[in-house]
């Protein structure tokens, strides 16, 4: 198949995945949010995310291994020093922000124990599997320029968050949505860079998970 056809096929897959996630968010954020709360609510979302993002992502990686630039994305690489630098920088950043906002470093009163499982154990693993392990990995075979790939997958990563923003109640303001998209896009670029340079998903998974956990634990949202 031609390179153009393969690119169109991959972007179509992303489009279908985006549509599927939008439908899930519509049904989750309204009916399920009203019927369940606490551990039940978080547990339902965790199960859905594991199935849609992680299990399906692992399946895609396994069945397209010959079309991936990094055929073994879960291979460990703990000697990759930039991982530790970025992890330390993120921790220091949140400690400073928390202290500047609240004049103390403490767990936010909005933080709930169930958030630990979703924001630390689930989200990073699932999202990195699908977006870096599959989409970015596949893009590396379809484009010669590494920066082009990083930017494309960062935009795709930001875009997949739109269903959540559009179905959140109360409705988010346009400025909040734009700010969130920029932040997520930059983070997507960083996670992608960590994956390409380390040739392992684990640095990105850990940095991603720590970021999400500290957002809710120290900042409160």
Query: DSSP assignment of 123-191, as one string?
Result: HHHHHHHHIIIIIIHHHHHH-S-HHHHHHHHHHHHHHTTHHHHHH-SSPPPHHHHHHHHHHHHHHHHHH
Instruction: HSE, CB side, 13 Å, CA atoms: give it for residue 48.
Output: 16
For the segment 52-72, the average pLDDT, to the nearest whole number, is: 97
Identify which has the larger pLDDT, 82 or 167: 82
Comparison of pLDDT for 104 and 11, the residue scoring more? 11
Burial class of residue 193, CB neighbours in 10 A (0-12, 13-18, 19+): buried
Assess contact for 158 and 185: CB atoms under 8 A: yes
More confident of the two residues 35 and 189: 189
pLDDT beyond 70 at 83: yes
Query: Cβ(135)–Cβ(69) under 8 Å?
Result: no
Number of domains in the chain: 1
* pLDDT number for residue 112: 74
pLDDT band at 169 (very low <50, low <70, confident <90, very high): confident
Tokens read off for 2: 């031609």
Q: Tell me the average pLDDT across 12-38.
A: 77
Whether residue 33 has pLDDT greater than 90: no
* Per-residue model confidence (pLDDT) at position 146: 98
For residues 10 and 64, is the Cβ–Cβ distance under 8 A?
A: no
Rg (CA), the chain: 18
Confidence of residue 1 (pLDDT cuts 50, 70, 90): low
Which domain does 101 fall in, by range? 3-219
pTM of this structure: 0.92
pLDDT band at 53 (very low <50, low <70, confident <90, very high): very high
Residue scoring higher pLDDT (109 or 51) = 51
Q: Three-class SS of residue 221? A: coil
What is the percent of the chain where pLDDT is above 90? 70
> So what's the pLDDT on residue 127?
96
Residue 215, C-beta contacts closer than 8 angstroms, at least 6 positions apart:
94, 119, 221
Between residues 41 and 89, which one has the greater pLDDT? 89
């Amino acid at each position: 198949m031609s390179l153009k056809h393969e690119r169109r096929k991959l972007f179509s897959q992303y489009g279908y995945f985006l549509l599927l996630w939008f439908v899930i968010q519509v049904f989750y954020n309204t009916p399920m949010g009203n019927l369940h709360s606490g551990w039940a609510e978080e547990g339902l979302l965790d199960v859905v995310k594991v199935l849609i993002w992680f299990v399906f992502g692992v399946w895609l990686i396994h069945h397209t291994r010959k079309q991936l630039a990094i055929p073994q994305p879960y291979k460990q690489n703990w000697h990759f020093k930039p991982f530790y630098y970025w992890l330390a920088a993120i921790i220091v950043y949140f400690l400073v922000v928390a202290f500047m906002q609240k004049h103390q470093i403490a767990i936010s009163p909005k933080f709930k124990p169930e958030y630990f499982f979703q924001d630390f154990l689930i989200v990073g693993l699932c999202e990195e599997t699908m977006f870096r392990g599959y989409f970015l990995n596949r893009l590396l075979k379809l484009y010669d320029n590494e920066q082009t790939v990083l930017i494309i997958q960062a935009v795709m990563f930001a875009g997949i968050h739109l269903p959540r923003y559009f179905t959140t109640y109360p409705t988010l303001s346009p400025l909040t949505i734009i700010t969130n998209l920029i932040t997520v896009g930059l983070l997507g670029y960083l996670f992608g860079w960590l994956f390409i340079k380390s040739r392992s998903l684990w640095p990105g998974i850990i940095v991603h998970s720590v970021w999400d956990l500290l957002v809710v634990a120290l900042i409160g949202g």
